[in-house]
Amino acid sequence: MKRVGIIGVGCSRFGVRDDVALQELAFEAVKEAVQDAGVNPADIELSVVGTVGTRNYELMPAVPINEYCGFSGRGPMRVEAACATGSAALYTAYTSISSGMADIAVAIGVEKMTEVDTATSLAVGGRSGNYLFEFHQYGTTFPGYYAMYASAHMARYGTTEKQMAMVAVKNHRNAALNPKAHFQKEISLEKALSSKYVAYPLKLFDCSPISDGAAAAILASEEKIRELGVDNPVWIDGVGYSSDTSNLTKRPDYVGLRTTVEAAAAAYKMAGIDNPVKQLDIAVVHDCFTIAEIMAYEDLRFCSKGEGGKFIENGDSDFGGRIPVNTFGGLKAKGHPLGATGVAMAYEAVKQLREEAGPLQVDLKNYRALTHNIGGTGHFGWVFILRR
């Protein structure tokens, strides 16, 4: 397998983007990534477009996106893995290069989720688990799914609504310094705790927003990186992936995600990581709901099972803590345009590792970062270890 590095990243502004079409939104990220990499679009041999597409007007978006971005004839390929679609795009570009099929590729994640109303969006999301046995019979939605995880975690480990609210406060505080974030205002703990319930015990500020956005990453082989003279590549040191049952009733419990545990184990093994807290500088984790970030602390082995609530309460996931998590605001406040999320995680990790994160920069010791992206309620899972 060839060694693969990321040589350019770009990210659009997240939020309600009714000022642009889907292709234009993707181009915002692609243009920045191409300029960042210092390459010509003609140099790119493969384009992988990641978009869920269930809320977009464009049903087959890869070709129009590639045409608009100047990649006609280079692929294109479209991938989908629910909320982990961006990581699926990144993984596809990575494996294409590591296998020798291409030397330079672009992964594009893009989604326009606000093309439909909230009720329709919730219904579409609810279908993404198991339509016949869950949504069709019980009308489940994603807040409902993660409310089950939150209730189970609270019952078994004593996790509190206050601890979940602290995740929201931290991530909104970080997003307030991120000019590309959907929400750019801090919130108080009192505001988070007093917000209305969406699906008990999850309140309004426990839930990520419905966002539009795009992100792009340009990957290249080690040989190509030398040829281009890139002096600051970020190497992909480890990759792990897993999946779980579509029907939640077939899972043994609701206090963690098997996909995270298995994907992390594979990525850690590949990257030679035994103690992630000591060997990583930063983590970008999937916090579609605040309970998801708390479970991620545990499943990624940042702390023992059941101690995720204390991990946030003690400030261990904040700047200056044991490992800063979601420094750009996370899905919770930066936004969660499904197809873009996984690539936007790589964007954040690369910016941090290159020490280009401005007021959100972490102190680097190991020059290693982790990205963790979940599709659905654990239906898909990817973990990447990146190193400068």
Ordered DSSP codes for 63-95? HHHHHHHT-TTS--EEE-BTBTHHHHHHHHHHH
- Residue numbers of the chain with a pLDDT score lower than 50: none
Among this protein's residues, is 11 annotated catalytic?
Answer: no
Among this protein's residues, is 182 annotated catalytic?
Answer: no
Question: What pLDDT does 126 receive?
Answer: 67
Q: Distance (Å, rounded) from C-alpha 120 to C-alpha 44?
A: 37
Separation of CA 249 from chain center: 26
What is the architecture, at CATH level 2, of domain 4-116+210-228? Answer: 3-Layer(aba) Sandwich (3.40)
Question: What pLDDT does 88 receive?
Answer: 98
Nearest to 217 by CA among 1, 7, 9, 3: 9
> Which residue shows structure tokens 């679609």?
85
Of 83, 207, 288, 303, which residue is the catalytic one?
A: 83
CB contact at 8 A, 22 and 82: no
18: DSSP letter? T
pLDDT digits (tens, 9 = 90+) for 173-219: 999 999 999 999 999 999 999 999 999 999 999 999 999 999 999 99
Of 153, 182, 286, 336, which residue is the catalytic one?
A: 336
Question: What pLDDT does 76 receive?
Answer: 79
Question: What pLDDT does 244 receive?
Answer: 94
What is the domain partition of the chain in residue ranges?
4-116+210-228
Question: What pLDDT does 146 receive?
Answer: 94
Q: Where in 113-271 does DSSP place strands (E)?
A: 197-199, 202-203, 212-221, 234-243
pLDDT digits (tens, 9 = 90+) for 34-86: 999 999 999 999 999 999 977 777 778 899 999 999 998 877 789 999 999 99
Question: What pLDDT does 53 receive?
Answer: 76
Structure tokens at 387: 């190193």
| Residue 21: other Cβ atoms inside 10 A | 15
Q: Distance (Å, rounded) from C-alpha 121 to C-alpha 96?
A: 33
